[in-house]
Structure 1
Amino acid sequence: MGREPLSVVVTTFNSAATLEACLRGVSWADEIVVLDSGSADAGMAIAARYGARIHAQPFAGYSAQKQAAIDLASHRWVLLLDSDESLDEASIAPLQQALLAPTCAGYQLWRREWQFWRWQSRRARLNHYVRLFDRQRARMSSHAVHEEVQVDGTIGVLDVVIDHHGEPDISGRVGKADRYSSLQLPDLARRRVGGLRLRMVAYPTVAFLRYYLLRGHWRSGWAGFIAARIHAFYAFLKYAKLYELEQRRSKRETGDDQ
């Protein structure tokens, strides 16, 4: 009995710089689906060269866009990748082995992060995410950012590492922190997060220590230190922006615009 056929699903927008590596690592898959949101670069030419089935629609938000791409897949089993992620040849055997007789509804893969001018230390803790899954038993979460695959069933872990090329420099990482903290505002407001002043003061330090020490990014030298500082800045920004939103709302309600 052969393995389950696999659809690789990728969402793109002006992703030419990283898309080649992304698609090269999964060229063995039975199908590659690319959902683009209006690229103006050479990304779609790269996708066509790898035989991808290309679709386009306006960007609907990170979670909704990925769900739309998943829904376009022809096969039941899906491998979901971002366009700035790639896999090497060592990933092929574990993925194919898991698809011979899947025992879980989804599988987590590890992810290694590019930190400005180097890869994170091999001894720093890797994140892990559900990326290989039975799409009949899985769906994207509704989070505006940090969206994830939610699986109805057991979840396994494969010895597969995704290389996440991410933002190539400090400016890009800071810009992402600013953008993501704004996108997260509606979710935070709905949750009615309290104690914002204390959170602005204390939580960035907690976030820095957790990222830098507990997750071991101190092993990545100054790149790890800078990444931890930006992570702490992101933690500060999301609560500062929520505090600003509440202050403005309060002034409107009281009629005090001075």
Structure 2
Amino acid sequence: MISILILTKNEQQDLPGCLQSVAWSDDIHVYDSMSTDGTLDIAKQFGATVTQRPFDNWASHQNWGLQNVPFKHPWVFYIDADERMTPELVQAVQAAAAAAKEEVAFRLQRRDFLLGTWLKHVQTSPFYMRLFRPEKMRYERLVNPISIADGPVGQVAGYLDHFPFSKGMGHWIDRHNGYSRFEAQQIISNRQAGERFSWVKAFTAKDFHQRRYHQKELFYRLPFRPLVKFLLLYVAKRGFLDGRAGFTYAMLQSIYEYFIVLKVRELEAAAPMSSVAAQRGNP
């Protein structure tokens, strides 16, 4: 009743554990971004179906997968290689898919781990939409995509365990350095294509996407944004209750935010130069 979708790129270290946690499904798909390590061999050893496509950006890549991967079942559970389904979650998603009436998707709670500690408080958002009917789901944004379901959304119990630091701190930093470039591009794109920023609409707009756009812009315009991000996670969300892991994670997220700030400035500085160069090239 439920197919599995796993996104991969050089995941030979984490993929076996992920595949073991979803071995209950008879339709497992590894959607790969042209891995160069042993990822594909591992997928085939577990009997998974492999689909490959060069990665461009998150929303485009995920939307293409939902439209083109040949799922056997009407429901899909999406999982990353560094995530694991707990037995309780497996039972919950199976029951939800079997009993679903109007629902087209279900949210679940994810537990992120760092230094052997569950980041129970400092985590930005613990709920993710991972069980869905693929024809009713789409993604938006170049990175950290927003899940948009075309219909009612339910919620299931159990935990999806996430180990984002399984490959080491350096890998996390390298990856988020890349993410920050996409985030900066998304910010510039939003400002060029979106409507003029409104403080009022950030809190009162009836349309969810319009309200989210203005809320994002409000956050992006805050002075000392990396410091604000740290205080939000460590103080407002009580990340200090997660001990050393909470402090480390809040610091890393503030550094990531600063990467985004710097790259937005870089893109904004390059834009006038590009405009001048284009004008000089005109006859």
List aligned pairs for 1:200-239, cutoff 5 A: 201-239=223-261
1:164 is aligned to 2:162: yes
8 Å CA contact 1:11, 1:69 repeated in 2: no
Residue 21 of structure 1 is matched in structure 2 by 17
Deviation at 1:90, TM superposition (A): 1.9
Structure 1 residues 144, 55: CA separation in 2 closer, same or farther (over 3 Å shift)?
Answer: same
List aligned pairs for 1:132-147, cutoff 5 A: 132-141=131-140, 143-147=141-145
- SS in structure 2 of the partner of residue 191 of structure 1: helix
Structure 1 residues 137, 48: CA separation in 2 closer, same or farther (over 3 Å shift)?
Answer: same
Deviation at 1:8, TM superposition (A): 0.5
Find the partner of 1:87 among 77, 85, 88.
85
Deviation at 1:157, TM superposition (A): 1.3
Find the partner of 2:150 among 152, 156, 177.
152
Q: CA RMSD in A?
A: 2.4
Structure 1 residues 140, 131: CA separation in 2 closer, same or farther (over 3 Å shift)?
Answer: same
What is the alpha-carbon distance in structure 2 between the residues aligned to residue 52 and residue 70 of structure 1? Answer: 16
1:9 is aligned to 2:14: no
Per-residue CA distance 1:20-41 (angstroms, 9 max, x = gap): 1111111111310112122222
- SS in structure 2 of the partner of residue 153 of structure 1: coil
What is the alpha-carbon distance in structure 2 between the residues aligned to residue 164 and residue 55 of structure 1? Answer: 23
- SS in structure 2 of the partner of residue 229 of structure 1: helix
Deviation at 1:162, TM superposition (A): 1.1
1:36 is aligned to 2:32: yes
**Identical aligned pairs, as a percentage?**
26
8 Å CA contact 2:121, 2:237 repeated in 1: no
8 Å CA contact 1:199, 1:239 repeated in 2: no
8 Å CA contact 2:88, 2:157 repeated in 1: no
8 Å CA contact 1:124, 1:217 repeated in 2: yes
8 Å CA contact 1:107, 1:155 repeated in 2: yes
- SS in structure 1 of the partner of residue 13 of structure 2: helix
- The TM-score, its normalising length taken from structure 2, stands at 0.79
Deviation at 1:134, TM superposition (A): 1.2
What is the alpha-carbon distance in structure 2 between the residues aligned to residue 252 and residue 70 of structure 1? Answer: 36
What is the alpha-carbon distance in structure 2 between the residues aligned to residue 36 and residue 132 of structure 1? Answer: 20
Q: Which residues of structure 1 form unaligned runs of 5+?
A: none
Q: Which moved more, 1:45-54 or 1:104-113?
A: 45-54
Find the partner of 2:268 among 243, 246, 252.
246
Per-residue CA distance 1:67-99 (angstroms, 9 max, x = gap): 233231232211011121111222221111101
Find the partner of 2:55 among 47, 55, 59.
59
Q: Which residues of structure 2 form unaligned runs of 5+?
A: 198-216, 278-283
Q: Which moved more, 1:150-159 or 1:209-218?
A: 209-218
Structure 1 residues 82, 212: CA separation in 2 closer, same or farther (over 3 Å shift)?
Answer: same
What is the alpha-carbon distance in structure 1 between the residues aligned to residue 276 and residue 41 of structure 2? Answer: 56
Deviation at 1:167, TM superposition (A): 2.9
Structure 1 residues 9, 202: CA separation in 2 closer, same or farther (over 3 Å shift)?
Answer: same
Q: Which moved more, 1:7-16 or 1:209-218?
A: 209-218
The residue identity in structure 2 corresponding to 1:165 is F
Structure 1 residues 7, 242: CA separation in 2 closer, same or farther (over 3 Å shift)?
Answer: same
Structure 1 residues 249, 122: CA separation in 2 closer, same or farther (over 3 Å shift)?
Answer: closer
Deviation at 1:121, TM superposition (A): 4.2
- The TM-score, its normalising length taken from structure 1, stands at 0.86
What is the alpha-carbon distance in structure 2 between the residues aligned to residue 152 and residue 192 of structure 1? Answer: 26
What is the alpha-carbon distance in structure 2 between the residues aligned to residue 161 and residue 215 of structure 1? Answer: 20
Deviation at 1:214, TM superposition (A): 2.8
The residue identity in structure 1 corresponding to 2:170 is S
List aligned pairs for 1:63-142, cutoff 5 A: 63-71=59-67, 72=69, 73-103=71-101, 104-115=103-114, 117-122=115-120, 127-141=126-140
The residue identity in structure 2 corresponding to 1:228 is A
